[in-house]
Structure 1
Amino acid sequence: MQTLPPLDRLSGILERFRVQAQLYHSGALCGVTTFSASEGYGYLHVLRRGELQVSHPGDRRGLGLLRFDEPTLLLYPRPLTHRFHNPPQEGSDFTCARLSFDGGAYNPLARALPALVAIPLARVPGLEMALELLFSETDQLRCGQRLLVDRIFEVVVIQLMRWLLDHPQEAGVQPGFITGLSDPRLARALVAMHDAPGENWSLERMAGCAGMSRTAFANRFREVVGQTPADYLGDWRMALAQGRLRAGQPIKLLAEELGYANPSALSRAFAAKVGMSPREWLAKAAQEADV
């Protein structure tokens, strides 16, 4: 049996859709602490020691009241109001960061993740060294601390994403590109499309990247990812188009980069997927950002 070469399933995504972290809190939390969705941030919390109760007021996803009594990492990839409840005499020890996903609500990585990922620290291999450095930096003030801690938090995010790619069911990830990247054969087709979205991706070519027949590939893709390969490619191209438009790239250049014959073809595909023209969407996105 042929051994397939190693595959980097994550870099292509994070290079196009960055995740930025900013230290928010370090130390004990006492009483009730609210992290409001109105601020527009995701959050990464590291429960270093102690106990924690988390409530989610107004949430309709059924998260309810959760309790943690072991060192745990809690990731909120999208804005979601949550409250930490800690007895004043037993204030749990936390290190927290606010997260900004490029593209906000349109970031495909943030959209693919559950509202909350809660993982015991011991479950994520390799996390110990990054957390040891993180805790040593947050325990005392030193020159460059804030910038260094922000970068370490981003390393922790990447390590968590690595783990999620290999354990999507355990984290409650729904069918999508994360579950697709967890499949060794589908991942090769997905990474190829991620890296070269503008090329002519026929079903036969996608299947060839995965080392599968067209029928087997199409059936497996729909089962694992939850949509057809063509629909996935279209969604990926639109996610890239939205990011590029927000960065000020003209649609004429985008059309060529994303594999469309001309700007009109891209505009039609964009409107079909998003429900409005690129110009209308960009104006709406700018208005939402201002709010």
Structure 2
Amino acid sequence: MTSAAPSAPALDRLSTVLERFRVQAALFHSGALCGTHHFEALPGRAFLHVLRRGEMEVRHRPGDTDATRLHLDAPTLLFYPRPLQHVFVNAPRDGSDFTCATLDFDGGARNPIVQSLPALVRVPLDAVDGLQPALDLLFAEADHVRCGSRLLANRLFEVVLIQLLRWIVDHPAEAGVSSGLLMGLSDPRLARSLVALHRAPHEDWPLQRMAAEAGMSRSAFAAAFKAATGSTPAAYLTDWRLTLATSLLRNGQPVKRIAVDLGFADSASFSRAFRQHMGMSPRGWLAASGLGHAS
């Protein structure tokens, strides 16, 4: 009797990205929302809303999303990864029941997860397997004032977001994802290469090595990579390194250390690449961001 071939080990496609680019949630509302409520598009402001029960209308400005008006009548997650004005219109007496949080993505608009998402992700709660236990805990903490309840609710919102991102990676078309990091991670072959690259950005990553990680020929890998992410493998690697660099600069890391940690020959080559990519030097970028000076 022939034994079955061992299955490939499960691949964690998200942890390295989320460890490099953290997200923080802050609960700001739990309960009924009656009447009309405006959520403004403020710099760096993302939202995650959970419609627990009831029905309502969501309005967007023309051109901001594919749907100017949405009617919701079932429990739903509404995820706005980037600043986007939206308006909730509820029944004046028996408003819909919501739990809502703002999200702060490390790197803001340059966060690779944010960049790969549409302006709005709308998902029925029952579509995401395993979500209900986390929501039950979230609602229990959000609805009752107890020691540490707000802090715990914030962490549970982050758990809900991670579960939502898992679902998006497995269902990119349903989430409206068409290219970028999450689209690449949705392809099991490309994901092996991307995860390896994300874990060790300081190492040399010629096309042959990336393709070997994916178990593909160089030409097939390059074509599939460009189709999924919208970028060539070499350009993606440079973008990943420099996006990491902005996060390290914000955290006060010196340029010399960043250059070594991200695989550049020296601080001069890092600064040249940073200027070409960002339009200014690391020191200038920090000053423009109001974060001080690079050393």
Q: 1:106 and 2:110 equivalent?
A: yes
Instruction: Choose from 211, 219, 232 the match for 2:223.
Output: 219
CA shift, 1:58, in A, is 6.2
CA distance in 2, matches of 1:244, 1:52: 42
1:194 corresponds to: 198
1:26-105 alignment, distance < 5 Å: 26-38=30-42, 40-57=44-61, 59-105=63-109
C-alpha deviation, 1:61, in angstroms: 3.5
Deviation at 1:59, TM superposition (A): 4.8
Alpha-carbon distance in structure 1 between the residues aligned to 2:6 and 2:211: 17
- The runs of 5 or more residues in structure 1 that have no matched partner are none
Partner residue in 1 for 2:147: 143
Cα distance change, pair 128–142 in 1 and its aligned pair in 2 (3 A): same
- 1:173-225: CA deviation from partner (whole Å, max 9, x where unpaired): 12111110000010000000100001000111111111111111111111221
* Alignment of structure 1 residues 272-287 onto 2, 5 Å: 272-286=276-290
Q: Contact (CA 8 Å) 2:178, 2:228: kept in 1 or not?
A: no
Q: Distance in 2 between matches of 1:65 and 1:160?
A: 23
Identity level (%): 59
Q: What's the TM-score, normalizing by structure 1?
A: 0.95
Q: Deviation string for 1:207-257 (max 9, x for gaps)?
A: 111111111111111122111100111110111001111111111011111
Equivalence map 1:110-189=2 (5 Å): 110-189=114-193
The CA deviation string for residues 147-179 of structure 1, in whole angstroms up to 9 with x for no partner, is 110110000000001001111111111211111
Helix, strand or coil at the partner of 1:47? strand
State how far apart, in whole Å, the 2-side matches of 1:184 and 1:208 are: 13
What CA deviation, in whole Å up to 9, does each residue of 1:58-79 have, x standing for no partner?
Answer: 6533431111110000011111
Please give the alpha-carbon distance, in whole angstroms, between the structure 2 residues aligned to 1:128 and 1:170: 20
Distance 2:173 2:259 in 1: 36
Question: In structure 2, the residue corresponding to 1:89 is in which secondary structure?
Answer: coil
Query: What secondary structure, in the 3-state scheme, does the structure 2 residue paired with 1:78 have?
Result: coil
RMSD between superposed Cα atoms in Å: 1.4
Q: 1:2 to 1:226 in 2, by over 3 A?
A: farther
Cα displacement (A) at 1:90: 2.5
Consecutive unaligned residues in structure 2, runs of 5 or more: none
Deviation at 1:127, TM superposition (A): 0.2
Give secondary structure in 2 for the equivalent of 1:25: strand
Q: Distance in 2 between matches of 1:11 and 1:286?
A: 29
Cα distance in 2, alignment partners of residues 259 and 151 from structure 1:
33
Count matched residues: 287
Q: Distance in 1 between matches of 2:6 and 2:184?
A: 21
Give the drift of 1:2. 6.1
Conserved 8 A contact 2:115-2:180? no
* Residue 242 (1) aligns with residue 246 (2): yes
For the Cα contact (< 8 Å) 2:26–2:103, is it kept in 1? yes
Structure 2 partner of 1:256: 260
Q: Give TM-score scaled by structure 2 length.
A: 0.94
Q: Could you tell me how far apart the structure 1 residues matched to 2:23 and 2:110 are?
A: 13
Shift of residue 39 of structure 1?
A: 6.2
